Amino acid sequence: MAKRQMVSTLTHTSREVAEDFLRWRAEQQEKSMIGHNGCPLDQDDEMDVSILEQETPDGSKVSTNV
């Protein structure tokens, strides 16, 4: 990725500086994990509750009710 030319109010219009800032801020938000809880499920996915039922070594079932 090529390094971008610096944008300054001395060499660019206020609009150009503002547009560059908005572009930069959007890039930073895409790179950031802030607000991301790391859940592998999408909003339309459902959790498989069968994983909550487990068997103990002696074969009896252990269930956690949700």
Q: What DSSP state is assigned to residue 11?
A: T
* Torsion 12-15-18-19 (CA) sign: negative
Per-chain mean pLDDT for the chain: 75
Residue 8 pLDDT greater than 60, yes or no: yes
CB 42 within 8 A of CB 36: no
Under the banding of pLDDT at 50, 70 and 90, the label for residue 15 is: very high
Nearest-angstrom CA–CA distance, 19 and 22: 5
Structure tokens belonging to residue 44: 């339309």
Among 14-23, 27-36, 49-58, the minimum mean pLDDT is found in 49-58
Nearest-angstrom CA–CA distance, 7 and 21: 9
In the chain, the amino acid numbered 60 is S
* 38-57 tens-digit pLDDT: 666 555 666 666 666 666 66
Residue 5 pLDDT greater than 90, yes or no: no
